[in-house]
Amino acid sequence: MTGTAKTHAKGFKPEAKKHLGQHFLHDAGIISMIVHAVDPQPGDRLVEIGPGQGAITFPLLDRHGELTVIEFDRDLIFPLTEGARAHGTLEVIHRDVLTVDFSALAHNGGPIRLVGNLPYNLSSPILFHALDHAGSIRDMHFMLQKEVVDRMAAGPGSKVYGRLSVMLQAYCQVIALFDVPPAAFRPPPKVDSAVVRMIPHPPEKIGIADHALFARVVRDAFGQRRKTLRNALSQICEGASIQAAGLRPDARAEQIEVADFVRLSNWLKANGSIEPEAN
C-alpha cells in the first residue's frame, strides 16, 4: 500500500511524529475529565489546537455538535475529517497555530474557547500567542507538561514562581485542574502532564500602562534570581524608583506579587524613570 493510500485508508491512525512533539491521548477517563472541565454550552465557539487523532475532538463534537480545529500535520487532516462525520460538523484549519489570528476567528461570533493538548516543544510560544489575542478568548483549557503548569500557577515564595508565572497571571486567572500520567498517551512521554484552565482578565483589571515595559521589568527581575530588585533592575531604574513605587529594593523577584510588578512598571512609565535598553 502506498503512503497516500495508507493515509486515506478507513480507520488508519498515523503514528506520532517525534519532530512535531506528538503524543496522542487515548485514556477514556482522562478524555472524559477534559470534556467535563470544558463543559461546552449552546452558542459556544470551540477551537481545538492540535486535535491529533481526535481523542478530544470527537467527544467535544458529540457534546456540542460543531468544532473548529487547527492542525499542522497534513497526514491527520483526512482521518479527522472522515472520523468527524459521525459526530458533528468539523471545520479544519490546516496551519501552524502560531500563524492563526484568533481575533479573526472570533470576529463574527463572539469570543472563542480554546482547547488543546499542546506539544511540549511549543507550549510557551502558543501560550503567549494566545495572550496576544486574549480580548477575543473567553477561556482556555490546555494540557501541558506538569512542570510547566506548576510554573504557570505558582505564587510568590514558590521555588517555581518566575517569569512565566507573572506574565501569564498578569493577563489571566490560571487554575491547575488535574494531573495526567504518561500512560494516558501513545507513545507515553517521559514526563507527567497536567490540564490547566486560563481565563483572561477583563482589560480594566489588567491595568498595565505599557505592556513592553512590563515584560522588560519582569524579564530583568527574574534574569538573575539571586539578585535583589535593586541589582537585577539596574539597567532599567535606580533603587530609589523601586522604593518610590512602593516595593523594597532589597527584595528578590520571587517574593514580589504580580500586582506589584504591574505597579512598578506603571510607576516607571508615569515618571519617566526608565533607562534605555542596551542594544
The reported pLDDT for the residue numbered 273 is 63
All structural domains of the chain with their residue ranges? 3-206, 211-271
Domain 211-271, classified CATH 1.10.8.100, yes or no: yes
Give the C-alpha distances (Å, rounded to integers) separating 240 from 69, 157, 206, 255, 264: 50, 24, 25, 19, 12
Q: What DSSP string runs through 146-186?
A: HHHHHHHH--TT-TT-SHHHHHHHTTEEEEEEEEE-GGGEE
* Cell digits of residue 100: 492563526
Query: DSSP character for 106?
Result: T
Full pLDDT tens readout for the chain, 279 residues:
333 333 333 444 555 434 444 567 899 999 999 999 999 999 999 999 999 889 999 999 999 999 999 999 898 899 999 999 999 999 999 999 999 999 999 877 789 999 999 888 889 999 999 999 999 999 999 999 999 999 999 999 999 999 999 999 999 999 999 999 999 998 888 899 999 999 999 988 999 999 999 999 999 999 987 899 999 999 999 999 999 999 999 999 999 999 999 999 999 999 976 655 655
The reported pLDDT for the residue numbered 23 is 66
Q: Indicate the SS3 state at residue 278.
A: coil
- Three-state secondary structure of 184-245: HEECCCCCCEEEEEEEECCHHHHCCCCHHHHHHHHHHHHHCCCCEHHHHCCCCCCHHHHHHC
Nearest alpha-carbon partner for 137 in 172, 159, 111, 165: 111
66 touches 88 (CB < 8 A): yes
Shared fold status for 3-206 and 211-271:
no
Q: Indicate the SS3 state at residue 68.
A: strand
Give the C-alpha distances (Å, rounded to integers) separating 272 from 231, 232, 244: 19, 19, 13
Domain 3-206, classified CATH 3.40.50.300, yes or no: no
The reported pLDDT for the residue numbered 52 is 87
Question: pTM above the 0.85 mark?
Answer: yes
